[in-house]
Chains A and B, each alone.
Chain A
Amino acid sequence: MLDKELRSMIGDVKDGRMDRRAFIQRLAAVGLTAPMANQILAIGGVAMAQSPNPYPPTKRGGGGPLKLLWWQGPTLLNPHFATGTKDQDGSRLFYEPLASWDVDGHLNPILAAEIPSIKNGGLSADAKTVTWKLKPGIKWHDGKPVTADDLVFNWEYASDAATACVSISTYSGLTVEKVDDLTIRIAFKEPTPFWANAFVGAYGCIIPKHLFAGYKGSKSREAPNNLKPVGTGPYKFVEFKPGDLVRGEINPDYHMANRPYFDTIEMKGGGDAVSAARAVIQTGEYDFAWNMQVEDEVLLRLEKGGKGKTLYAVGGDIEFIAINFTDPNTEVDGERSSMKTKHPTLSDPAVRKALALLVDRDSIKKAIYGRAGRTTANYLNGPDDFVSKNTKWEFSVEKAIALLEQAGWKAGADGIREKDGKKLKFVYQTSINGPRQKTQAIVKQACQKAGIDVELKSVVASVFFSSDVANPDTYSKFYADIEMFQIPMTQPDPGLHMRRYHSRNVATKENKWQGQNFPRWINKEFDAAIDAADVEIDPVKRAALYIKGNDLMWQDTVFIPVMHRLAVEASSNSLRPALSGWANQTDNIQDWYREG
């Protein structure tokens, strides 16, 4: 649609005839995320807006303690080793990136003096280099100045495979060079439309060169500062007990005016989500609790007359049912679900479409997810209104039956549909988790009505999500017909999220089932779209390619999206946390304050 129209819109924003918000809303209407819209503007030559500042405190400190409850406490405090959000959240109290994603999906400068744009010379027109400038005068907690050398060191540290950083792929495909003491230039090998990845967000946190220089490569785990962070953040490190407690105190030299608001910060770990919700919402012992994986019913009950409430951050996390395109019951060369097989019944598109018609998202939302979920037909769900307009979901047992009848699947003597001696009998696996087993039951019931026999299987989460090669029950081996779990969208850019299902990423015995394309779905058109999107500079064309990818997955019924899941947090009534569906919960911790 929008090539020309978009260009004129960008022009309008540039000349001030249209404001940014209106631009973003119009792009959201055609299925683009706010960060993408912002990047479109940036590449189109419009500087990224520095977010309006809703931060009212007029002086640093004086806010007393801030008490956070993470039911899985951080186990390490080096952002480059952080294996889960809990570790990233803990590290982020002390370490900072150049910029982070705010509530509206804007890039918000933290250590950077400004967000790179074509206008300020930060972005090159060919999308091959980005120049970041550090804010002058920033000091590490030990008083040493932060310089471009620190940034270059972080790139060297993380991209060295021997250091074994989890942030490696963020840093390995690029080079970073020092321009002057406060400026670096990132050079990409290929045009990189999503340039705001290195030094931004959770993996963008910067560690000091002077304390880690001796611990690059294979000596990385010996660094004493792995446990005693010295960063630039709003809070200085005081104490760390893995899995139990992280404690910090106000950084009096923090580089942002009037920040932070709280005098001390504490992140307590352990326990379970329900009692964490209770400690924040009901008794008010804590100010904020992370990741309330609790049934909405329970939260509503706690909220009645309580001292806190739940908050929702919209991200791109999706709970879905994946369909196996290969045969899990036939072994070829010692491998089940081999690429050399075809699923006997699910390879029929009519069967897959019928299954999609049998997932009653409305009931699942009502009975299970409540406020924490949104129904969707898309695999790719941007935090705001990222909805491909070309798709829609439907629940209809009648239509499913009609579809199956038409395709020749007739009910047998036992009521189960069959064709050519093959019966519609499926093993439906997922991890052990209350909401998942309830969803399984709802889907199974609808399938029964349509003459499909579903056998439910649930596997302990630590086994299901394991990468252990010897284990037959992992999601990536997918020795079942259909399976269900959640895939979190870890970045505001869909690139990583979509690339998983490229045909080169099929999970096989050969790659020890490390490939992320576990449905083993091969679609040349999808591959081409994803490959093109990876290097497409034109943001409009690029967005269209990802929407096309999503629609192809929908047309082929690779995934049956069950619920677009929101991040649920518990907060005391007076706390004003700055949450973003595009970032980790503590990513904007410097902007948190208390009201009244």
Chain B
Amino acid sequence: MSQYVLRRLMIAIPSLLGISLVLFVVLALAPGDPFSELATNPNVPPEVQAALRARFGLDDPIYLRYLHWLNAMLHGDWGFSFVSRMNVDTLILQRLPTTLYVIGSAQILALLIAIPVGVYAATKPYSLFDRIANTLAFVGFSLPTFFTGILFILIFSVTLDWLPFVYTTDIKATGIHYALEMIRQAIMPVAVLGLFQAASMTRFVRSAMLDVIRLDYVTTARAKGLGQAKVIVKHVMRNAMIPVVTLIALQLPAVFGGAIVTEQIFRIPGIGSLLISSILSNDTPVVMAVTFVFACLVVLFNLIADVLYGWLDPRISLR
């Protein structure tokens, strides 16, 4: 098993290197200039711009800049934001907790909805409940989050005036009030993101359950006289969850990506909105770092999925 994990790790490293190279080259070739705002400012003489470009190494050839970046990265230096003139890792660490809080909550909400609904729908296929759940799931993942987000704002903030639609990290309360405020302002973004995730996950749980529920050993279990609940929970769900767990693991990085839109709508200061604003201001070191974090997440969760497979089904790790 440990050899298997090691082997997977060895594959992850060159993939990360490859990804970083591609990202770097694409960013370097992309149009845009971090100093464009200075360029339109008549107060800033061209010499200062040139000095800044030289200082940040923008005039070096791409391969030099990449090697420089890689070397710094290996030493734990994530680079320096042109726009904020501060270290990129500080910027990202400032944003990460918010992202994790919102996305984590949304993911938990999705699981809390998807598993019971999916399981129950699978035990009674084509029942009224199943049909309603299916329809809602279809509607759910057909509606993009930017649409539901604005819809929620119009209903709950503008019309009903129940919830704030600007997410703030600056809540002037302590203890229980702070917690309540944090929950209150997260309700809409978490709901938007969570329901979207729940919709597709429900479909997946349901079909995974249906695959297993028809197998012979389930019939055998029933024939032995086991209760319905016990058969479903102990025999069917456990096996059906194997692909579901993998799916969730692989989907998580995509959730980070999907959250960018939600972060923008609700002004959540997460890494998604950091990415957007950095792209808009051509702050390449930040864009590079954030996209690289996303890439690392994809590789990491792939790794976790691989390991989970190996653990759930030892035959895989032997191959």
A interface residue numbers (CB < 8 A to B) = 65, 69, 72-73, 75-76, 78, 81, 83-84, 161-162, 164-170, 203, 218, 221, 226-227, 239, 241-245, 247, 264, 266, 268-272, 275, 278-279, 282-283, 285-286, 460, 462-463, 465-468, 471, 473, 476, 490, 496-497, 499-500, 511-512, 514, 516
Contacts and interface: CB of A to CB of B under 8 A. Distances in A.
Given A226-B86, A466-B31, A467-B49, A245 B41 contact: no
Contact of A243 (B45, B84, B170): B84
A161 B33 contact: no
B52 A164 contact: yes
A76 B46 contact: no
Contacts of B168: 245, 266, 268
Interface string B252-284: 000000000000110101000110010011100
Contact of A245 (B36, B37, B43, B170): B170
A467 B170 contact: no
B158 interface: yes
A69 B161 CA distance: 19
A169 B165 contact: no
B38 interface: yes
B45 A168 contact: yes
B73 interface: no
B42 interface: yes
18 contacts: A83-B37, A161-B51, A166-B38, A166-B41, A168-B44, A221-B85, A242-B91, A244-B94, A264-B172, A278-B158, A283-B158, A462-B32, A467-B35, A467-B39, A471-B31, A490-B43, A496-B42, A512-B46
A75 B169 contact: no
A500 B43 CA distance: 10
Contacts of A500: 42
Given A221-B80, A270-B269, A283-B157, 17 more contacts: A75-B84, A75-B277, A170-B43, A242-B81, A243-B84, A244-B95, A245-B169, A268-B166, A275-B267, A285-B157, A285-B164, A466-B32, A466-B33, A468-B32, A490-B41, A496-B43, A500-B42
Contacts of A268: 166, 168, 170, 267
Given A285-B164, A468-B33, A247 B280 contact: no
A76 B281 CA distance: 13
A268 B273 CA distance: 13
A164 B34 CA distance: 15
B62 interface: no
A136 to B, nearest CB: 31
A244 B42 contact: no
Given A266-B170, A270-B267, A270-B273, A462 B47 contact: no
Nearest to A514: B46
Interface of B: 31-33, 35-49, 51-52, 55, 80-81, 83-86, 91, 94-95, 153, 157-158, 161, 164-166, 168-170, 172, 264-265, 267, 269, 273-274, 277, 280-282
Nearest to A465: B36
A242 B169 CA distance: 12
A37 B224 CA distance: 100
Contact of B43 (A72, A203, A239, A463): A203
A161 B47 contact: yes
A221 B85 CA distance: 6
B318 to A, nearest CB: 49
A221 B264 CA distance: 29
A244 B273 CA distance: 9
**4 shortest A-B CB distances, which residue pairs?**
A467-B39, A244-B269, A466-B33, A514-B46
Nearest to A162: B51
Contact of A516 (B42, B166, B265, B280): B42
A282 B158 contact: yes
A162 B54 CA distance: 11
A73 B267 CA distance: 11
Contacts of B94: 241-242, 244
Given A76-B83, A463-B32, A243 B269 contact: yes
Contacts of A166: 38, 41, 43-44, 48
Nearest to B86: A227
A473 B223 CA distance: 74
Nearest to A497: B42
Given A226-B86, A270-B277, A466-B36, A285 B165 contact: yes
A75 B165 contact: no
A242 B33 CA distance: 20
B48 A476 contact: no
Contacts of A221: 80, 85
A92 to B, nearest CB: 16
Contacts of A269: 267
A355 B83 CA distance: 40
A78 B274 CA distance: 20
B100 to A, nearest CB: 16
Contacts of B46: 511-512, 514
Nearest to A475: B40
Given A169-B45, A268-B267, A278-B158, A462 B165 contact: no
